[in-house]
Amino acid sequence: MENYPDQNGSSIELKPTREFAGLIDKFWFVQKNEKYRQGHFEILPDGNFDLLFILADSWCKLVFAGPYTRKFCVPMLGEYDYFGIRFRSGKMPRIADIKPVDLVDTMITPHKILGMDIDALGERLYFLERIESKQAFMEDAFRKAGLETIAPAGIGIRSAEIIESSGGQIKVNDLACLAGVSIRTLERVFLTEVGMPPKTFIRCIRFQDTLEKMRSGKYRSLAEIACECGYADQSHFIKDYKQLSGRLPGCF
């Protein structure tokens, strides 16, 4: 579903085409608005990798980021366009000489992806004014590289899919049993393919699932949310929420 920007420069979001639904969560775009000189958006702990293009008519910067295990704020300047690609939880596309573990809790600025120079790529994206055109261009680039090449599906990736579908309500030993490997093997492979230990990933996914339930407004109390999301009790939920977000859930 698309969310069109208001005069404050909020983002437009688009879901990927069906071909890329297993790899990409969404595309988003914020057009420059020089009335708003500087703002920021807040990243809360998640399991996602992101590509962010910061675009101007003669300049481009690409940021490859995430996933995050702690709160982080990213500055946004009104003089630039921002075009982002958020990938599905645990799925880092192999489009640059970067390992998943290198991106946890940080950002890297590659000079090339898929063999393309970032300035040339940024210029193409900048002059494609509509988000639909930017999305089609990037999906075509991924398609030419080959989905099997940029999105290999090993034990770690398949385990990440199970964690995501469970809302983070699964234990590492149960995950290892489902994968048919030992806990130690799962931890080693998961770290290589996803970039963090499975226990940490589970915690981040459960936190994101909790946020989604809180946003829905369907729950009458924190205790009800804690129970629904698999926390031992309300105090456990509040402690975990504060550690991950830096604030109490009542402030949401």
**For residue range 5-44, what is the model confidence (pLDDT) as tens digits?**
433 457 899 999 999 999 999 999 998 876 666 677 788 9
User: What domains does the chain contain, in order, with CATH numbers?
Assistant: 12-150 (no CATH), 155-251 (1.10.10.60)
pLDDT of residue 38: 67
pLDDT of residue 34: 63
pLDDT of residue 60: 93
Classify residue 48 as exposed, middle or buried by CB count within 10 Å of its CB (0-12, 13-18, 19+).
Answer: buried
pLDDT higher for 23 or 152?
Answer: 23
What's the pLDDT band for 216 if we cut at 50, 70, 90? confident
pLDDT of residue 6: 39
pLDDT for 60-115, tens place per residue? 999 999 899 999 888 888 889 999 999 999 999 999 999 999 999 999 999 999 99
pLDDT for 112-138, tens place per residue? 999 999 999 999 999 998 999 999 999
pLDDT of residue 132: 98
Whether the link from the prior residue into 100 is cis, omega within 30° of 0, is: no
Query: Which pair of tokens denotes residue 185?
Result: 């093997």
Residue pair 89/164 in contact (Cβ under 8 Å)? The answer is yes
Residue pair 175/150 in contact (Cβ under 8 Å)? The answer is no
